[in-house]
Amino acid sequence: MRTDKFRKDKYEKKIRGDVAKIRIDRYGKTQKGLFKSRIQDQVEIERKVKSLLAGKVPSNMLVYYIIFAKQLYKVIRTHKGDNQKVEIEILQKTWGKRGLSSLLMSEIKKLFGIVVEKVGYGVGGYGMGKYGW
């Protein structure tokens, strides 16, 4: 158990302005670097997906494929092994039910180096939704 003196000292350090400022400054520098790197990744994902799907989907549907790709990128960064496979499958089922083509989602997965074992979720072919637009 912590002593009263330890708790009091910790609290006093916490409320001192200079300690908080130092902490915030350090955190800010770290976050700026992470933000810059993530933004560069996001722009690269958008560029790759747009060039991959050029002429294959209507422009109003392109944004959904870009969102799928960005979510796929997040899953790849945050999950490993079998858990990653499950999360990717859930992601593909979710976007397939929203009308994205399973073939196109598989092509996007290949951009990330994911081996596509089966194509099964989503709309078959290159059509969008049950109306085929």
DSSP 46-92: HHHHHHHHTTTS-HHHHHHHHHHHHHHHHHHHH--HHHHHHHHHHHH
Please name the residue that has the structure tokens 């490993």: 80
- Residue pair 111/52 in contact by the 8 Å Cβ criterion: yes
- Residue pair 71/63 in contact by the 8 Å Cβ criterion: no
| Domain regions of the chain by residue span | 4-111
CA distance 110 to 92: 13
Sign for the pseudo-dihedral over CA of 65, 66, 67, 73: positive
User: What's the mean pLDDT when you consider all of the chain?
Assistant: 84
Q: What is the DSSP letter of 101?
A: B
- Residue pair 64/95 in contact by the 8 Å Cβ criterion: yes
Residue 12's identity, in one-letter code, is E
CA distance 115 to 117: 6
**For residue range 70-79, what is the model confidence (pLDDT) as tens digits?**
999 999 999 9
Residue 32's identity, in one-letter code, is K
pLDDT in 10s for each residue of the chain, 133 residues: 889 999 988 888 777 767 777 778 888 888 888 888 889 999 999 999 999 999 999 989 999 999 999 999 999 999 999 999 999 999 999 999 999 999 999 999 999 988 866 655 454 544 444 444 3
